[in-house]
A = this chain, B = another copy of it.
Amino acid sequence: MHPAARGLADDAAVLAFPLGADLVATHDMLAEGVHFTPKCPPDGIGWKLAAVNLSDLAAMGARPLGLLLGLGAGAGRGAAWAVEVARGVAHAAAAFAAPLLGGDTVRLPGASVLGLTALGFVPEGAALGRAGARPGDDLWVSGTIGDAGLGLEVALGRRSHDPVLLERYRRPMPRLALGLALRGLATACIDVSDGLLLDAARLAEASGVGLAIEEAALPLSDAARASGVTPAGLAAMGDDYELLFTAPTGQGAAVGTAARRAGVRIARIGQCLPEPGLILRDASGRPRPLPPRLGFQH
């Protein structure tokens, strides 16, 4: 246990804070029947809970300080289930150097509900945000898109078993190292949680720009290419937890270096436009119809 948790003997965790840094804080929930099913392995739920919150820190360019866990174990969930959820959180905590500092556990009469607060820091004024993209900036994304959404279909029994896709859905990897490397380089950044197209629209709206996305440039795994789902359809699936970001065209080489330093593949998938709107273009530059739903809206 982290020393800040003081053996959970105090009312709150206390931890040293880096000099001259800003605090970054986020809280996301996962609920049974909404974000996970009773059949999901509890350690995977715990991992995912930590990972989706750490992904929010990654999108801000923040380095994690620690986690606080609110664990509501529903009716019929024994102590073993709660321990497994906490173990999954602890695995992610160890993997991403974000110690579990404390929290609360309650027994609930109904469905299980989990909340997690992720705390991090950035040098003063250095946090990335959604609002800084400028017309002419390039649009980039890390990793591959749609695998986790296909993994959800596997989990729901709507697609034949594929352990790699399932793992992408159940065990997202927040791009913390990339977020750190993009500080001072990316003009805007968001994590792809609800679908690339939907999160791109959010970034564009916050920045007051438009976006043109090249369909052929979307980074797809072999499994996604073989899935029968169109690139636009894959870009409307959620749970990727990749970073979608913009940077001035002249910074392309620096962006590539940053990604290599972070050990992550990235792809340039489009460009920021002066006029609002989201355009998907085919290989010959013609606009393609957008899917009726740009992503998953809670």
Q: Is A184 an interface residue (CB 8 A)?
A: no
What per-residue 1/0 map shows which CB atoms of A115-137 lie under 8 Å from chain B? 10111111010010111000000
Q: How large is the interface on A (under 10, 10 to 19, 20 to 34, 35 or more residues)?
A: 35 or more
Within 1-42 of A, Cβ neighbours of B (below 8 Å) are at 6, 9-17, 19-29, 31-35
What per-residue 1/0 map shows which CB atoms of A92-115 lie under 8 Å from chain B? 000000000111101111110101
A12 touches B56 (CB 8 A): yes
Contacts of A32 in B (CB 8 A): 109
Contacts of A59 in B (CB 8 A): 10-12
The chain B residue sitting closest to A191, CB to CB, is B11
A25's partner among B68, B124, B127, B130 (CB-CB below 8 A) is B68
Q: A9-B130, A12-B62, A108-B110 are in contact. Are A20 and B19 (CB under 8 A)?
A: yes
Q: A23-B65, A102-B26, A104-B29 are in contact. Are A14 and B60 (CB under 8 A)?
A: yes
A111's partner among B55, B110, B206 (CB-CB below 8 A) is B110
A42–B15 alpha-carbon span in the complex (Å): 33
Residue among A117, A127, A191 having the largest count of chain B Cβ atoms under 10 Å: A117
